[in-house]
Amino acid sequence: MKYLLDANTFIEAKGRYYGMTICPAYWEWLLKAHKKQEIISISMVKDELLKGRDELSEWVEENSQIFMPESSEDIQASFGASVAPAVYDMNHMKAGTHEEFMSGADPWLIATAMATGATVVTQEVYKPDIKKKIHIPNVCKLLGVPYMNTFEMLHELEAEFVLPAA
- H-state helical runs in 36-103: 43-50, 55-62, 73-78, 84-88, 97-102
Q: Name residue 147's beta-bridge partners.
A: 120
In a domain, 161, yes or no: no
In a domain, 165, yes or no: no
* 88-143 tens-digit pLDDT: 888 888 888 989 999 999 999 999 999 999 999 999 999 988 888 999 999 999 99
In a domain, 152, yes or no: yes
**Alpha-carbon span 121 to 41, nearest angstrom:** 9
Kindly report the CATH number assigned to the domain that includes residue 34.
Answer: 3.40.50.1010
Element (H, E) at 153: helix 150-156
In a domain, 77, yes or no: yes
* 5-55 tens-digit pLDDT: 999 999 999 999 999 999 999 999 999 999 999 999 999 999 999 998 899
Q: What total number of domains does the chain contain?
A: 1
In a domain, 139, yes or no: yes
In a domain, 110, yes or no: yes
In a domain, 164, yes or no: no
pTM of the model: 0.94
In a domain, 166, yes or no: no
**Alpha-carbon span 37 to 89, nearest angstrom:** 34
Expressed as residue numbers, the domain containing 124 is 3-156
